[in-house]
């Protein structure tokens, strides 16, 4: 380990130090002092991490720590995305966590710690590091999901997420073990070269299937989606904003890496599998969402459907599919974090107003908030000039380019169907409130500086990705090219020789 290696994981180091700092300050503050300032420390650290990952673009593409961690435009793209999400979620939590809630210090420490895992997941090129990164990110998300200890649903959500998540990680680990058995290595680049030569074809295919199960669970694609609605409903809304986007983006990055760098030769095997998963996710997600009354459950099913739209991009040829998938992850993150920010503000940290019916008359109670809600929902529908449209556009465009016309047709029909439930919420918010005195308490949201910044940031990103997506798409494409071409043959050999 040397200095050059450290630079390869600079954002992760910054995030770890931030988390540790938050914990130390928390421990040294007197018990009665408000913990809100800790959130600002975490936000500041995340901003630094974001800048440092952007700075990593100036590093030459390559690996560190004996070929286990990579920096490339691909990893930077996802690092920036994840740090951006985490930053917005921190800003959101700053204004919405109740003053006296328990363990605020740990809350602000766990989020950067989780981000370390997610960031590492996107840059790891060694399957055991992948596993460790996945665990780091998962464990903090499990804890965060159960943060509302006074309600019955939140611990239930955490337990469910933990049990099912552990199973899924088990699958992934078993897949890694099998692929190690078949080839004798866990390095991604080596695997990509050895797998076409592997004699035990059945074992490799089984390994791939097991790894896919593990990863598809993390992105909540059908049929591995059962946990999502319960967990989203029970977990605190700011945490849902985080876990419906950042770990998913990281898991999609991992999926891209595994499919395009480890198993590119097995495309004929994984492509039909992903077709089925994509169609199932879109259809199951949208049909189930139609019947939900609880907003967070509805959005959970919607996120399952969006995982399906993203998977459509995998039908694309060459690096175009990777670029489309990366772009979709960013577009989806912008609008989904935004909508959960609105949900947090409307329902409050305690989810007092959780049903669609509770949103009735929102435009009269809180016109600005309602406008944000409608804007994000329109983006989720996929109306042009919003991020949601260009995400779908690129995803389906590469699918059509890859001759998967029926997949695109099914996907777009699904997005037509999806508009029905998004519009239900839009229309509910637009309706005049019926009964003069509402049976439930109408919490008037508090607009602090932090939460306003979070809303403006997500809305701005959603709008910019919809009107001038050129730059983001270019970044995604540059990233895709670095993922597509495995490291040139002589370089790792020289590295091995020098060891």
Partner 1 sequence: MAYLSESILTYILLAPLVGAILIALLPDRGKLPAWIGLLTTLVTFLLTLHLPAHFMVGQHGFQFEINRTWIENPAISYHVGIDGLSVWFVALVGLLAPIGILVSWNVIQKRRKVFYALFLVQQTAMFGVFLSLDLILFYGFWELSLVPMAILIAVYGRKDGPRAALKFFLFTFIPSAPFLVAILWLYAHTGSFNFSDLQMLIASGSLPAGALFWVALAFLFAFTVKVPVFPLHGWLADTFSEAPVALAMVVAGKLGLYSMLRFHIGLFPVQARAIAPLLVALAVIGLLYGACLALVQRDFWRLLAFAAFSHLSLITLGIYGLTFTGWDGAIYQVLNHGVVDAALFLLLAILEMRFGTSQIAAYGGLARKVPQTATFFVIASLAMIGLPMLNGFVGEFLILSSTFIGVSHSWAIAATVGVILGAAYMLWLVQRIFYGPEEALALSADGKDLRPVEQLALWPLAALMLVMGLAPSLWLPTIESRTGPPTFRSASALSRFNSSPVVQVGGQQ
Instruction: Enumerate binding residues for partner 1 (CB under 8 A).
Output: 363-364, 371, 374, 378, 381, 383-385, 389, 393-394, 396-397, 400-401, 405, 408-409, 412-413, 415-417, 419-420, 423-424, 426-428, 430-432, 469-470, 473-474, 477
SS3 content of the chain, % helix, strand, coil (to 5): 80, 0, 20
Cα 188 to Cα 124: distance, rounded to the nearest angstrom: 9
* Coil, helix or strand at residue 62: strand
In the complex, minimum distance from the CB of residue 274 to partner 1, in angstroms, rounded to a whole number: 19
Q: What are phi and psi of 416, to 5 degrees?
A: -65, -45
In the complex, minimum distance from the CB of residue 437 to partner 1, in angstroms, rounded to a whole number: 20
In the complex, minimum distance from the CB of residue 195 to partner 1, in angstroms, rounded to a whole number: 30
Nearer to partner 1, 152 or 405 (CB): 405
In the complex, minimum distance from the CB of residue 432 to partner 1, in angstroms, rounded to a whole number: 8
Cα 135 to Cα 45: distance, rounded to the nearest angstrom: 22
Nearer to partner 1, 69 or 426 (CB): 426
Cα 299 to Cα 175: distance, rounded to the nearest angstrom: 31
In the complex, minimum distance from the CB of residue 431 to partner 1, in angstroms, rounded to a whole number: 7
Cβ contact 46:4 at 8 Å: no
Nearer to partner 1, 452 or 474 (CB): 474
Nearer to partner 1, 11 or 361 (CB): 361
In the complex, minimum distance from the CB of residue 468 to partner 1, in angstroms, rounded to a whole number: 8
Nearer to partner 1, 257 or 392 (CB): 392
Nearer to partner 1, 132 or 423 (CB): 423
In the complex, minimum distance from the CB of residue 374 to partner 1, in angstroms, rounded to a whole number: 7
CA angle 268, 481, 60 (to 5 degrees): 135
DSSP structural state of residue 72: S
CA 118 to chain centre: 9
ω into 373 cis (within 30 of 0): no
Nearer to partner 1, 131 or 372 (CB): 372
Cα 253 to Cα 74: distance, rounded to the nearest angstrom: 9
Nearer to partner 1, 35 or 424 (CB): 424
In the complex, minimum distance from the CB of residue 384 to partner 1, in angstroms, rounded to a whole number: 3
In the complex, minimum distance from the CB of residue 206 to partner 1, in angstroms, rounded to a whole number: 35
Provide the b/e sequence for 298-334 (b: ≥16 CB within 10 Å).
bbbbbbbbbbbbbbbbbbbeebbbbbbbbbbbbbbbb
Nearer to partner 1, 24 or 413 (CB): 413
CA angle 298, 303, 308 (to 5 degrees): 130
CA-wise closest residue to 74 among 395, 314, 329, 248:
329
* Coil, helix or strand at residue 126: strand
For the CA atoms of the chain, what is the radius of gyration? 22
CA 420 to chain centre: 25
């Amino acid at each position: 380990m040397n200095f050059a290696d450290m630079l390869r994981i600079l954002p992760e180091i910054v995030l770890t130090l931030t988390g540790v700092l938050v914990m130390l300050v928390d421990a040294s503050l007197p018990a009665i002092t408000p913990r809100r300032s800790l959130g600002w420390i975490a936000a500041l650290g995340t901003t630094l991490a974001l800048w440092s990952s952007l700075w990593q673009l100036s590093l030459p593409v390559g690996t560190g720590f004996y070929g286990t961690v990579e920096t490339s435009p691909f990893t930077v793209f996802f690092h920036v995305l994840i740090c951006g999400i985490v930053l917005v979620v921190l800003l959101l939590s700053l204004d919405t966590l109740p003053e006296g809630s328990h363990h605020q210090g740990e809350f602000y420490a766990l989020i950067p710690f989780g981000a370390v895992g997610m960031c590492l997941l996107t840059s790891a090129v060694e399957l055991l590091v992948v596993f460790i990164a996945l665990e780091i990110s998962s464990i903090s998300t499990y804890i965060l999901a159960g943060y509302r200890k006074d309600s019955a649903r939140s611990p239930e959500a955490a337990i469910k997420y933990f049990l099912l998540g552990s199973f899924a990680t088990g699958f992934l680990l078993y897949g890694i073990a099998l692929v190690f058995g078949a080839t004798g290595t866990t390095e991604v680049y080596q695997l990509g070269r050895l797998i076409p030569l592997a004699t035990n074809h059945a074992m490799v295919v089984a390994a791939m299937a097991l790894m896919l199960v593990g990863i598809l669970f993390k992105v909540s694609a059908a049929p591995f989606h059962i946990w999502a609605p319960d967990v989203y409903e029970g977990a605190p809304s700011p945490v849902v904003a985080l876990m419906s986007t950042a770990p998913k983006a990281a898991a999609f990055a991992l999926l891209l890496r595994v499919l395009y760098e480890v198993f590119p030769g097995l495309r004929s095997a994984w492509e039909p599998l992903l077709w089925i998963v994509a169609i199932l996710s879109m259809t199951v997600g949208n049909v189930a969402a139609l019947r939900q009354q609880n907003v967070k459950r509805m959005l959970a099913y919607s996120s399952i459907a969006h995982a399906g739209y993203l998977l459509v991009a995998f039908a694309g040829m060459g690096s175009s599919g990777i670029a489309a998938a990366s772009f979709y992850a960013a577009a989806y993150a912008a609008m989904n974090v935004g909508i959960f920010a609105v949900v947090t503000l409307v329902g409050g940290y305690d989810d007092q107003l959780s049903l669609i019916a509770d949103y009735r008359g929102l435009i009269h109670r809180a016109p600005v908030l309602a406008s944000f809600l409608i804007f994000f929902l329109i983006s989720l529908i996929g109306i042009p000039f919003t991020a949601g449209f260009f995400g779908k556009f690129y995803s389906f465009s590469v699918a059509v380019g890859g001759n998967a016309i029926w997949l695109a047709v099914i996907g777009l029909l699904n997005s037509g169907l999806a508009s029905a439930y998004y519009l239900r919420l839009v229309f509910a918010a637009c309706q005049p409130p019926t009964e003069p005195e509402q049976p439930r308490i109408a919490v008037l949201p508090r607009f602090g500086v932090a939460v306003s910044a979070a809303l403006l940031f997500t809305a701005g990103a959603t709008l910019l990705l919809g009107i001038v997506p050129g730059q983001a798409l270019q970044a995604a494409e540059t990233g895709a090219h670095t993922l597509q071409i495995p490291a040139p043959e002589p370089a790792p050999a020289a590295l091995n020789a020098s060891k």
